[in-house]
């Protein structure tokens, strides 16, 4: 699942990015209100973590503009704790409000609750390709009914492949979306991660789902005879 963090303090933004990524989420960061609003309006995010004290366009203005077009869940994150600020945030359409300083486990619990609540009532959050099923909300993966034990990064990689199944993803794109790094041709982090993921998702089963497209990257799809 993809989370947009709009936070002008670089250290705080890096902290949130790392913590959320380690828990299996794909994270995009914007350091200004203007950039955050553009990303929120044009991107496909499951949740926005939005600071109030932003340079130029503040978080309240970003939220107000966002709500004219989208209902993406928004968690307001700010040093302001006054009741009138909370009321203003909720009146503008915020889904939750967390005051700094905070403990990361509390933020993570609120993020998970908002993502779960954001699903339509009664909707099945699981996504499937052939006999592979992932549940991004519960951080669970199964194949042919068998639970697959994955690390946070392995799960994030599998979620990316499943959500864009049938689409060939380059190593550069995978590295950027899963590890938030610029791919270096001398680095084999993506290939190593794919190999480890295959050992869990493909090797125990007859049908192979993670395919290599030589010279390009990888794609997850069920191919006859694969």
Residue 183 pLDDT > 70, yes or no? no
- Give the CATH architecture of domain 2-118: 3-Layer(aba) Sandwich (3.40)
SS3 214: coil
Strands, sheet with 169-170, edge to edge from the N-terminal-most edge strand: 169-170, 217-220, 210-213
Helix (H) / strand (E) element for 143: namely strand 140-143
Which tens digit of pLDDT belongs to each residue from 145-154?
899 999 888 9
- Phi/psi of residue 142, nearest 5 degrees: -140, 155
Which tens digit of pLDDT belongs to each residue from 38-63?
999 998 899 999 999 898 899 999 99
CB-CB contact of 28 with 43 (8 Å): yes
Q: What pLDDT score was predicted for residue 121?
A: 39
CA distance 139 to 126: 10
Tokens, residue 212: 């290599």
CA distance 135 to 160: 12
- Cβ contacts of 202 within 8 Å, gap of 6 or more: 208, 209, 210
Share of the chain above pLDDT 90, in %: 47
**Longest CA–CA separation in the chain, Å:** 62
CA distance 177 to 193: 13
**Segments making up each domain of the chain, as ranges:** 2-118, 127-220
Q: Which residues pair with 127 in a beta bridge?
A: 134
Q: What pLDDT score was predicted for residue 75?
A: 95
* pTM passes above 0.85: no
CA distance 165 to 130: 11
Tokens, residue 6: 């709009």
Domain at 127-220: CATH code: 1.10.10.10
């Amino acid at each position: 699942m993809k989370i947009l963090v709009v936070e002008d303090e670089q250290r705080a933004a890096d902290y949130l990015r790392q913590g959320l990524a380690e828990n299996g989420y794909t994270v995009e960061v914007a350091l200004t209100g203007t950039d955050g609003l553009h990303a929120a309006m044009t991107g496909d995010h499951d949740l926005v973590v939005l600071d109030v004290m932003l340079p130029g366009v503040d978080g309240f203005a970003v939220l107000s503009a966002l709500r004219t077009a989208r209902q993406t869940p928004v968690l307001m994150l700010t040093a302001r704790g006054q009741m009138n600020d909370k009321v203003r945030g909720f009146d503008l359409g915020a889904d939750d409000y967390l005051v700094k300083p905070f403990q990361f486990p509390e933020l993570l619990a609120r993020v998970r609750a908002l993502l779960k609540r954001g699903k339509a009532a009664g909707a099945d959050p699981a996504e499937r390709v052939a006999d592979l099923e992932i549940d991004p909300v519960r951080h669970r993966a199964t194949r042919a009914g068998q639970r697959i034990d994955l690390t946070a990064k392995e799960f994030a990689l599998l979620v990316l492949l499943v959500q864009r199944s049938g689409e060939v993803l380059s190593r550069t794109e995978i590295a950027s979306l899963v590890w938030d790094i610029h791919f270096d041709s001398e680095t084999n982090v993506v290939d190593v991660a794919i190999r480890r993921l295959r050992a869990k998702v493909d090797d125990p089963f007859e049908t192979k789902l993670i395919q290599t497209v030589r010279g390009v990257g990888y794609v997850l799809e069920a191919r006859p005879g694969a």
